[in-house]
Amino acid sequence: TAEEADLYKNIEKKLRNSENTKQIFEAEGLSKFPILFELNGEEFKMEADRIVFDHKEKIIYPYDLKVTNFVEDFLFNSFLKRKYYIQSSLYKFGIMSWCLTNEYKDYKVENLAFIAADQTNFLDPIIYRTTDKHYEQGFEGFKFGNTQYRGIMQILEDIKTSKETNVWSMSAYNIRNKG
């Protein structure tokens, strides 16, 4: 609708003018940049909302924008629930792979940062930068509270099992244990 379009234009305006996000959009970088890469024989595609280059320090800062109604509680309500820990690990890995094929071989890639923008455009955006520990957990999985979160390597193993058996309607665990 026209009302939604206006809201998103205003959110973009706030992102470009907010003290904690405007430098991301003013800095040299790429927006909506697609990257193809491979991990354990599987092909992946990602599209970073923003990649910022610090050529002096040779650092790349990746960002992904999330418009949410959980700006203040983004880490708990979205990062875990929507499995953004997997996205953060894949994006960093994808950008590192991309760097190896071009002039950024000697650049360090920082962990993905999420820019959480308020879907009502009332609250200021907040930046949540993931850590090296998040990067590892995205690949290996982790336990938080009473919940076990599966990582990329476990998911890729499940895909491999399903490809080998051509069974896609059952978990790899049940396939291996004969249902």
Can you tell me which residue has the tokens 């940049």?
Answer: 33
* HEC assignment per residue over 60-87: EEEEEEEEECCCCCHHHHHHHCCCHHHH
Of residues 96, 15, 6, the one with CA closest to residue 51: 96
Q: How far is CA 150 from CA 12, 156, 157, in A?
A: 33, 10, 11
Work out the percent of the chain whose per-residue pLDDT is above 90.
Answer: 61
Question: pTM of this prediction?
Answer: 0.88
Instruction: Give the tens place of pLDDT for each residue, 101-136.
Output: 999 999 999 999 999 888 877 778 889 999 999 999
Can you give the pLDDT at residue 37? Answer: 97
Can you give the pLDDT at residue 174? Answer: 85
- Other Cβ atoms less than 10 A from the Cβ of 46: the count is 21
pLDDT above 80: residue 75: no
pLDDT band at 14 (very low <50, low <70, confident <90, very high): confident
More confident residue, 170 or 93: 93
Can you give the pLDDT at residue 126? Answer: 85
| Rounded average pLDDT over 22-48 | 95
CB–CB of 117/67 below 8 Å?
Answer: yes
Q: How far is CA 48 from CA 8, 94, 96, 171, in A?
A: 18, 10, 13, 30
φ and ψ at residue 170, rounded to 5 degrees: -145, 150
Helix (H, G, I), strand (E, B), or coil: what is residue 118? Answer: strand
Give the pairing of strands 29-39 and 42-54.
antiparallel
